[in-house]
């Protein structure tokens, strides 16, 4: 559940072995440089290298070590927004393409796993979308009509979500969904990319990116990759200071894994229609047991620090609906970037010159969005027409998403009030081992962390992106920025963009 550093560990981190890669120690050139080795970057690298392009992938951690290691890995064309909402926001033709693109992505993952013989526990199964109570079935009926209009004609209305110990009332069954082990899948992609001539470097932090006729990518150890195109797949783009970060919002989401007797719950994907919603699936771990994986309880990043209460609510919710759930054997959390209009931004970086691409804002549906990014960006870089280009264009403006845009940006503006509030403790002596707190010091604030040995580590609490004040996340032992989701480890090292630099040290 927790590793040595106190951070939570997802089920995949304990089941998959991702191969180590070297650090980049020389200047090199490639057709395409991809920054970020999560599902989006690795899918893009795989598809481009299969087309004969030379690719270089850079990541400052391990392959899949970002949010891809923390996913629950539902492979689904059921998104966080309902299709009737997406139809209103994006129009019917675009909504049809959205549904089609996610179906294609599931098929693509299956085709790649088969072609490359990747043993990643891929299974096809049904998905069930159910209302939280018997009174809320209108949304289900409305959604059924929308999905049929948009081409998902095999979705059916059924009387009750199976396997749940409560009566859900009417629910929708989506056939041909899937699930897999994301890290085993990325390990297989890594082998295929390398076989196709691609190069992958890990523990290589990228500090500067510029597009143009020749794109430049500079690393913190002073190496440069030049390329004909650059794809920034860092989940939250580090090559775009502002535009994209006003169009999406970071949320932390929580997961528990409960042991259940093997086969006691039929394998399927389940989601309720709450906001935030619960997402559920099963993973077999041995002959006797499955793990029932349940997620939800999302909150805006850096704006709550009550993980234990959220895990407890998830456990109570789970045990009420699945009484066979036994010990909780996993607890973890991660961050999702929610786009204002419900789908990812994939395409040209609006704030850079030509040949510079981004993928971000997948709104918690990163497995299929990351695969869509691979398909779409490969076509764009190869100069091929793709109907999805306009749908996922990072520069798109959807009037129907204005309310969400205003809500999130007012929320961000309010975070700057943290500059004038007192610190959480008035003296660092009050900070106990393995915890952190914000301390006011004159006109500024300090992020103070006392490690397990009692040594105090002080950094500026000012986020290096656009200067909001970070907040302590006691579950993951990170400093989280409440504005656009940059995250830093307890020692101030950046672990999530959009920030590129770590928190500045404070002189003792």
Ligand X SMILES: Cc1cc2nc3c(=O)[nH]c(=O)nc-3n(C[C@H](O)[C@H](O)[C@H](O)COP(=O)(O)OP(=O)(O)OC[C@H]3O[C@@H](n4cnc5c(N)ncnc54)[C@H](O)[C@@H]3O)c2cc1C
* Residues at the contact surface with ligand FES, assessed by CB under 6 A: 463, 465-468, 481, 483-486, 498-499
Q: How far is the CB of 407 from ligand FES (least distance, A)?
A: 17
- From the list ligand FES, ligand X, none, which binds 500 (C-beta under 5 to 8 Å, kind-based)? ligand X
Residue with smaller CB distance to ligand X, 67 or 168? 67
- From the list ligand X, ligand FES, none, which binds 466 (C-beta under 5 to 8 Å, kind-based)? ligand FES
- From the list ligand FES, ligand X, none, which binds 127 (C-beta under 5 to 8 Å, kind-based)? none
Residue with smaller CB distance to ligand FES, 356 or 496? 496
- From the list ligand X, ligand FES, none, which binds 227 (C-beta under 5 to 8 Å, kind-based)? none
Instruction: Assess contact for 480 and 489: CB atoms under 8 A.
Output: no
d(CA 127, CA 72): 14
Under 8 Å CB-to-CB from 57, ≥6 apart: which residues?
Answer: 34, 35, 36, 37, 41, 42, 45, 193, 198, 199, 200, 201
Residue with smaller CB distance to ligand X, 277 or 416? 277
Residue with smaller CB distance to ligand X, 12 or 418? 12
Instruction: Assess contact for 188 and 17: CB atoms under 8 A.
Output: no
Instruction: Assess contact for 129 and 271: CB atoms under 8 A.
Output: yes
- From the list ligand FES, ligand X, none, which binds 368 (C-beta under 5 to 8 Å, kind-based)? ligand X
DSSP-based three-state secondary structure for 356: strand
Residue with smaller CB distance to ligand X, 374 or 448? 374
Number of H helices, E strands in the chain: 10, 24
Residue with smaller CB distance to ligand FES, 430 or 467? 467
Under 8 Å CB-to-CB from 227, ≥6 apart: which residues?
Answer: 29, 30, 31, 32, 33, 56, 214, 215, 217, 355
d(CA 341, CA 369): 14
Q: Which alpha helices (DSSP H) does 17-137 contain, by range?
A: 39-50, 83-90, 92-115
Q: How far is the CB of 409 from ligand FES (least distance, A)?
A: 12
Q: How far is the CB of 234 from ligand X (least distance, A)?
A: 4
Q: How far is the CB of 180 from ligand X (least distance, A)?
A: 10
Q: How far is the CB of 428 from ligand X (least distance, A)?
A: 30
DSSP-based three-state secondary structure for 124: strand
Q: How far is the CB of 159 from ligand FES (least distance, A)?
A: 46
- From the list ligand FES, ligand X, none, which binds 206 (C-beta under 5 to 8 Å, kind-based)? ligand X
- From the list ligand FES, ligand X, none, which binds 238 (C-beta under 5 to 8 Å, kind-based)? ligand X
C-alpha 491: how far from chain center: 23
Given the rule CB under 6 A, which residues bind ligand X?
35-41, 58-61, 65-68, 70-74, 205-206, 233-235, 238, 253, 255, 279, 295, 334-336, 362, 364-368, 370, 497, 500
d(CA 255, CA 267): 18
Residue 156: what are its φ and ψ, rounded to 5°? -125, 150
d(CA 396, CA 292): 38
Q: Please confirm whether the linkage preceding 471 is cis (ω < 30° from 0).
A: no
- From the list ligand X, ligand FES, none, which binds 41 (C-beta under 5 to 8 Å, kind-based)? ligand X
Length of the chain: 508
β-strands 199-201, 279-284 pairing:
unpaired
Residue with smaller CB distance to ligand X, 445 or 459? 459
Which secondary-structure segment (H or E) carries 28?
A: strand 28-35
**Long-range contacts at 218-221 (CB < 8 A, ≥ 24 apart):** 219/24, 219/58, 221/23, 221/24, 221/25
DSSP-based three-state secondary structure for 438: strand
- From the list ligand X, ligand FES, none, which binds 497 (C-beta under 5 to 8 Å, kind-based)? ligand X
Nearest to 362 by CA among 385, 337, 384, 387: 337
Q: How far is the CB of 448 from ligand FES (least distance, A)?
A: 18
Residue with smaller CB distance to ligand FES, 193 or 252? 252
Q: How far is the CB of 423 from ligand X (least distance, A)?
A: 29
Q: How far is the CB of 255 from ligand X (least distance, A)?
A: 5
DSSP, residue by residue, 218-243 = EETTS-EEEEEEEEE-SSS-SS-SSG
Q: How far is the CB of 480 from ligand FES (least distance, A)?
A: 9
- State the first-to-last Cα distance of the chain, in angstroms, to the nearest integer: 35
- From the list ligand FES, ligand X, none, which binds 481 (C-beta under 5 to 8 Å, kind-based)? ligand FES
Residue with smaller CB distance to ligand X, 248 or 435? 248
Residue with smaller CB distance to ligand FES, 236 or 318? 236
Q: How far is the CB of 242 from ligand FES (least distance, A)?
A: 9
Residue with smaller CB distance to ligand FES, 358 or 483? 483
Residue with smaller CB distance to ligand X, 159 or 221? 221
- From the list ligand FES, ligand X, none, which binds 131 (C-beta under 5 to 8 Å, kind-based)? none
- From the list ligand X, ligand FES, none, which binds 347 (C-beta under 5 to 8 Å, kind-based)? none
Q: How far is the CB of 201 from ligand X (least distance, A)?
A: 9
Q: Which residues pair with 174 in a beta bridge?
A: 127
Q: For residues 163, 165, 167 and 171, what is the CA-based torsion angle, rounded to 10 degrees?
A: -30
């Amino acid at each position: 559940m927790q590793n040595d550093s106190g951070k939570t560990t997802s089920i995949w981190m304990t089941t998959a072995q991702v191969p180590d890669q070297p650090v980049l120690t020389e200047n090199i050139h490639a057709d395409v440089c991809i920054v970020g080795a999560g599902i989006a970057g690795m899918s893009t690298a795989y598809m481009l290298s299969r087309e004969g392009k030379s690719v270089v992938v850079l990541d400052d951690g391990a392959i899949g070590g970002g949010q891809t290691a923390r996913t629950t890995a539902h492979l689904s064309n059921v998104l966080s927004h309902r299709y009737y909402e997406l139809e209103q926001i994006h129009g019917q033709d675009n909504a049809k393409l959205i549904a089609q693109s996610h179906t294609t992505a599931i098929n693509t993952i299956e085709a790649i796993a088969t072609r490359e013989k990747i043993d990643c526990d891929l299974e096809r199964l049904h998905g069930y979308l159910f209302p939280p109570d018997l009174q809320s079935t209108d949304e289900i009926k409305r959604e059924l009509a929308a999905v049929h209009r948009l081409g998902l004609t095999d979705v059916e209305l059924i009387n009750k979500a199976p396997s749940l110990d409560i009566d859900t009332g009417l629910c929708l069954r989506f056939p041909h969904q899937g699930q897999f082990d994301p890290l085993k899948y990325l390990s297989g992609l890594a082998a295929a990319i390398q076989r196709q001539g691609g190069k992958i470097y890990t523990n290589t932090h990228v500090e500067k990116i510029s597009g143009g006729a020749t794109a430049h990518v500079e690393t913190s150890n002073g190496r440069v990759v030049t390329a004909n195109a650059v794809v920034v797949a860092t989940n939250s783009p580090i090559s775009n200071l502002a535009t994209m970060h006003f169009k999406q919002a970071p949320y932390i989401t929580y997961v528990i894994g409960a042991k259940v007797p093997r086969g006691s719950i039929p394998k399927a994907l389940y989601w309720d229609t709450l906001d935030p919603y619960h997402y559920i699936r099963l993973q077999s771990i041995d002959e006797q047991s499955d793990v029932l994986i349940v997620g939800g309880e999302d909150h805006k990043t850096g704006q709550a620090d009550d993980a234990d209460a959220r895990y407890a609510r998830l456990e109570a919710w789970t045990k009420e609906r699945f009484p066979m759930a036994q010990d909780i054997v996993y607890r973890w959390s991660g961050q999702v970037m929610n786009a204002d209009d419900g789908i990812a931004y994939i395409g040209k970086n609006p704030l850079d010159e030509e040949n510079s691409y981004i993928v971000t804002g997948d709104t918690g549906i990163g497995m299929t969005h990351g695969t869509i990014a691979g398909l779409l960006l490969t076509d764009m870089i190869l100069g091929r027409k793709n109907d999805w280009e306009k749908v996922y264009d990072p520069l798109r403006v959807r009037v129907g998403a204005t309310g969400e845009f205003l809500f999130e940006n007012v929320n961000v503006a309010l975070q700057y009030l943290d500059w004038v509030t007192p610190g959480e403790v008035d003296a660092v002596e009050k900070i106990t081992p393995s915890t952190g707190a914000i301390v006011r010091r004159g006109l500024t604030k300090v992020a103070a962390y006392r490690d397990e040995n009692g040594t105090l580590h002080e950094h500026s609490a000012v986020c290096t992106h656009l200067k909001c004040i970070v907040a302590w996340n006691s579950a993951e032992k990170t400093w989280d920025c409440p504005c656009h989701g940059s995250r830093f480890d307890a020692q101030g090292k950046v672990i999530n963009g959009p920030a590129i630099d770590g928190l500045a040290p404070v002189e003792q």
